Amino acid sequence: MVWIVACAVAGAWRPARGRAGVSPETAPLPGGSYQAVTARKEQPAVTVAPYRLDRAPVTNAAFLAFVRDNAAWRRDRVAALVADGGYLAGWSEPLALGPNAPPHAPVVGVSWFAARAYCAARGGRLPSEAEWELAAAASPTARDGRRDPAWRQTLLDWYARPNPPTLPDVGQRAANLWGLQDLHGLVWEWVNDFSASMLVGDEARLCGAAANGAIDPLDYPAFLRAAFRSSLEGRTTTSNLGFRCAYDGGGP
């Protein structure tokens, strides 16, 4: 019931006139076939149509511009049903970033509801899990680098490294084959269907349990992402969870 009411509150919001900020560059992706890492071998793959994705996560500056245009998403005015108490907690004031939230660093402390509203104001949406994972599968040199031991180790090293107190700017790492940056190693990112690969019981506590019988039991970074998404609710905010937007069509 709470989830239904929260969706109604968020659904009643309409973007104000004006833009959410300077539109970042987007990259075209061709779509393809996707199976969640938690899927069993007998489960059919999902077909993903061509789409576009922001090249980098949404920044504090861009989200601040959105909040200024849409007062319902200010920290001091947001409804408790659509964001918990950590919403934009790193900002010094409701309309000021401060030293802990550099303008070109990724915005964090944003709920799923708020991220969806931002993307809608931009004429986009949150990517599906399939879209995000297809994009994230690419290495700098291959559209699917998941079976490359060196690339997989790079990802594991990134995920093992704790975030600094103040996040660095987006776009500091090399882009993958699609021209996308910071899909790994900077912040976790919201997807629209974040509970699609829900892990329960032992699977939620130990990724190895979910790996038994899965498509690729060696893709541990993907299991980490699935486990993290399983811990979320729509109003959840954390200090290392951001997002980027997706758009229909436009793949090469």
* Residue-range domain boundaries for the chain: 39-248
State the pairing for strand pair 241-242/188-189.
parallel
Question: Exposed, middle or buried: residue 30 (CB in 10 Å: 0-12, 13-18, 19+)?
Answer: middle
How far CA 15 is from CA of 54, 68, 127, 129, in Å, comes to 20, 11, 19, 25
Question: What pLDDT does 90 receive?
Answer: 97
Q: Determine the Cα–Cα distance for residues 85 and 22; give it in Å rounded to an integer.
A: 28
Tokens representing 203 are: 């699977």
Tokens representing 68 are: 């200024």
DSSP state of 12: H
Q: Determine the Cα–Cα distance for residues 57 and 51; give it in Å rounded to an integer.
A: 16
Question: What pLDDT does 235 receive?
Answer: 97
Residue 189: strand, helix, or coil? strand
Q: Determine the Cα–Cα distance for residues 222 and 207; give it in Å rounded to an integer.
A: 10
Per residue in 124-164, pLDDT (tens digit) is: 999 999 999 999 999 999 999 988 999 989 988 988 888 89
Q: Determine the Cα–Cα distance for residues 161 and 148; give it in Å rounded to an integer.
A: 20
pLDDT in tens, the chain (252 residues): 444 445 544 554 444 333 343 345 899 999 999 887 766 666 788 899 999 999 999 999 999 999 999 999 999 999 999 999 999 999 999 999 999 999 999 999 999 999 999 999 999 999 999 999 999 999 999 999 988 999 989 988 988 888 899 999 999 999 999 999 999 999 999 999 998 765 544 444 444 444 444 455 567 788 889 889 999 999 999 999 999 999 998 755
Contact (Cβ atoms closer than 8 angstroms) between residue 222 and residue 239? no
Question: What pLDDT does 140 receive?
Answer: 95
CB neighbours of 124 closer than 8 A, spacing ≥ 6? Answer: 245, 246, 247
Question: What pLDDT does 223 receive?
Answer: 83
Question: What pLDDT does 18 receive?
Answer: 34
**Looking up tokens 């299991």, which residue turns up?**
223
